[in-house]
Chains A and B, each alone.
Chain A
């Protein structure tokens, strides 16, 4: 990246993985790399691979740049920093991000740890759906005693999912 033949005029700071790497380029090298204006240089490209900063704009329609309604972050900000502004930015820039994520990760869907509260939510929901099917069946077969028991169980599960699941 640096020829070390001429005095460096363009100085960039690449912060990756907590390590600060200074990138110094002479004017010729900077021109060759199309980085004449260091302020306009896409740190996103340096951090995330060439083309990353362009990718994010793909969700924007002609003439109306995307702005995150939650935090005011724009794709120009992303281009500059290589970072997003707030969690809602993932929704705002979704179209552009998905393509980018595909190139940098193994898959496009999370398949790791889930916060316990959410994991419980899914389990409870599945259980409720199962009970509801049984309830319909019980009503269809006119087993009202069983239906009443199932209805109570569903009600308890909805009101206090943690206690019922633990018990």
Chain B
């Protein structure tokens, strides 16, 4: 089966919801595992890497969760297919650069994805929409326990699961949540928040773009340390921190509406103006403006417009997704024009933003996390 036949269309992906997905776009847990008898993928001889790949694909494919999964060797996927998987956050850029001897298995519901011979023999991730870190941990824990029956993991009583990079040794776990934080950015509180979260030993990075640049006001919060702390402790610690960041974002939204509503409505109105009317929009500009439109929906300026529409467009305006809908190879300029055409068309029935009536004061303060 071809990847485009397997993948859920973007409009249906955008319909997937989870608790708290107004601010938490998705929750993810990734485990790194290696099996005995083979060098790590980056150092293994080609023939050994292929042998390990076959063994691992077979074992993963046998798991009940992976029935009906999409399985592919990385050399059988086109550059565009790989890029689409990256844009869907299903595989890493590093894995997309791999070829023969590396593979991927994606479960039918796309919530489980196993990268074979990335940096480690297995990099398995569970991904769910919204704020559900314990749930993603349970899902990946189950898959991992199932794999234990047929694979011999390299494990040391002292250092835990051994990984190619010492930064992952121990639990091999990376727990992360993707957060949409436009108000903290507009209110210029984001740097402070990032520093505070960093002090707790957690990493914050912009989802798109390089380094600290955060396109679309999307930030990923994740644990850094994997040794000396159990999986449950890491999940709980991250959940607590994310709950606090959500509270700060909510407070910033309330503050902006109360004190600087003109600034906020100006941003939202301009974003709508460009997205609904422009004839050339770059990928970066689209991500940033769609973020503001999403904020506009959250704040009630676009009554009747579902959040899913913005989420769908956030997927479809990315370069590989845009290219996939056209048979001829597009230049960057052509893509910007097609992107604008698609946005104008998608937003043709969306009325321009209104200034919503001020919200009634909350009766109770939300409970502290």
Contact = CB atoms under 8 A, between A and B. Distances in A.
A71 B158 CA distance: 22
B174 interface: yes
Contact of B231 (A18, A84, A97, A112): A112
B160 A85 contact: no
A61 to B, nearest CB: 22
Interface stretch (A115-123, A141-149, A150-158): A115-123
Nearest to B224: A104
A111 B169 CA distance: 11
Interface in B164-206: 164-167, 169-171, 173-174, 201
A18 B148 contact: no
Given A84-B164, A109-B158, A110-B228, 6 more contacts: A18-B95, A48-B167, A83-B42, A90-B159, A111-B230, A117-B148
Contact of A21 (B119, B169, B210): B210
B6 interface: no
Nearest to B149: A116
A115 B166 contact: no
B227 A101 contact: yes
B225 A105 contact: yes
Nearest to A116: B148
Contacts of A20: 93-94, 97
A87 interface: yes
A112 B165 contact: no
B304 interface: no
**Chain A CB within 10 Å — which of B95, B153, B164 has the most?**
B164
B42 A107 contact: no
B34 A87 contact: yes
Given A100-B166, A101-B169, A110 B92 contact: no
B229 interface: yes
A105 B42 CA distance: 23
Contact of A83 (B40, B141, B153, B161): B40
A112 B225 contact: no
Size range of the interface on B?
35 or more
Interface in B116-161: 118-119, 141, 144-145, 148, 153-161
Contacts of B359: none
What does DSSP make chain B's interface, helix, strand, loop or mixed?
Answer: loop
B59 interface: no
Contacts of A37: none
Contacts of A71: 39, 43
6 contacts: A77-B43, A83-B165, A105-B227, A105-B228, A111-B228, A112-B170
**6 A-B pairs with the lowest CB-CB distances in the bound complex, closest first:** A107-B228, A18-B92, A110-B160, A105-B227, A106-B228, A112-B171
Contacts of B42: 81, 83
Nearest to B43: A85
Contacts of A100: 166
B94 A15 contact: yes
B134 to A, nearest CB: 15
B369 interface: no
A63 B40 CA distance: 27
B64 interface: no
A111 B148 contact: no
B162 interface: yes
Given A101-B227, A106-B228, A112-B160, A19 B92 contact: yes
B367 interface: no
A108 interface: yes
Interface in B229-286: 229-231
A43 B94 CA distance: 16
Interface string B30-67: 00001010111011000000000000000000000000
